[in-house]
Structure 1
Amino acid sequence: MYLNKPSNRLVLISEFKPSMRGFDCEFIVLNCAIPTKLRDGGQVCKFKVSDKSGSIVLTLWGDSGEFIKPGDILRLEGAEAKLFKNTIFVTTSRYGKIKRIGENNMIFNELPFFSEVLWLTEEEHQMRQNENQPL
């Protein structure tokens, strides 16, 4: 799903769908994982982030995650929701921006944690429906 024109509307975490691109969102950082070093010398940082609708994993490549800490309120412009191993996460697009807009003063809900929800492909969904039909 592409959002073609920029909009001032912020997308809530509960509205994220796999392959959604080019949207803006705001959330508070709940916790940070230790950065993972990659073979090519780069790194990946993962964070649990939340807004009033729930929480999700934020994944950032490169050094953009080094300065983020718990309690930071971030705004992603040009965000993408992606699916990896049936787990949804949010990240910035190639030309996306991440900004720190505040600290420690945002209403949020940790649950539901959308990165724990099992996302099925259309084929997997059809197979499960067919298994549940009576003979």
Structure 2
Amino acid sequence: MSIPLKLGQQLVPIAKFRPSMRGFDCEVIVLETAIPTTTRDGQTIHTFLVADKSASIIMNIWGNDGKFIRNGDIIRIEGAEAKLFKGFMQLTTARFGKLKRVGEDTMLFRETPNVSEMQWVTEEESRSIGSAEEARK
């Protein structure tokens, strides 16, 4: 059983995520978990493959919140961010974002497309690529 949305709350599907989006809400199911990594300054990052009915994406959760998330959990994120890391988009929580487990194992989802496997370029990079291609002609 899922927790109802707040009045006026809209969930953004993964397929609509764009790099640098901030402060949106979404709901995903956890498909895979990875072994947590630790940064040089001692921060822990928990990495998951998550999906909804439109697509899948890599989700990174910093700190202790991620150690309680398991495969099959349905997570609602309030204050989510879509960020680029090395040209690939990932989902994370904003500084004051909230994670809430709202269900388990009962959500329709699509594994493809995985938007974390798509390389994103900035407008500047796109213009420079276009200029280089024009110069070759």
Task: Establish whether TM, by shorter chain, passes 0.5.
Answer: yes
**Normalized against structure 1, the TM-score is what?**
0.90
Residue 106 of structure 2 aligns with an amino acid whose one-letter code is: N
Q: Give the Å deviation of 1:36.
A: 0.4
- Name the structure 1 match of 2:3: none
> How well do the aligned residues superpose, as a CA RMSD in angstroms?
1.5
Classify the secondary structure of the residue corresponding to 1:11: coil
Structure 2 stretches of 5 or more lacking a match? 1-6
d(CA) in 2 for partners of 1:85, 1:42 = 19
Q: Give the Å deviation of 1:123.
A: 1.7
Q: Give the Å deviation of 1:8.
A: 1.0
- Name the structure 2 match of 1:3: none
Residue 119 of structure 1 aligns with an amino acid whose one-letter code is: W
Residue 69 of structure 1 aligns with an amino acid whose one-letter code is: R
Aligned-residue identity in percent: 52
- Name the structure 1 match of 2:83: 82
- Name the structure 2 match of 1:99: 100
d(CA) in 2 for partners of 1:48, 1:109 = 12
The reply on whether 1:49 has 2:56 as its aligned counterpart is: no
- Name the structure 1 match of 2:120: 119
Q: Give the Å deviation of 1:129.
A: 2.0
- Name the structure 1 match of 2:61: 60
d(CA) in 1 for partners of 2:8, 2:57 = 22
Structure 1 stretches of 5 or more lacking a match? 1-5
Q: Give the Å deviation of 1:7.
A: 4.7
d(CA) in 1 for partners of 2:28, 2:40 = 30
- Name the structure 2 match of 1:23: 24
Q: Give the Å deviation of 1:70.
A: 0.6
Superposition misfits of 4+ residues, deviation over 3 angstroms: 131-135
d(CA) in 1 for partners of 2:44, 2:126 = 34
Aligned residues: 130
Classify the secondary structure of the residue corresponding to 1:66: helix
d(CA) in 2 for partners of 1:11, 1:73 = 15
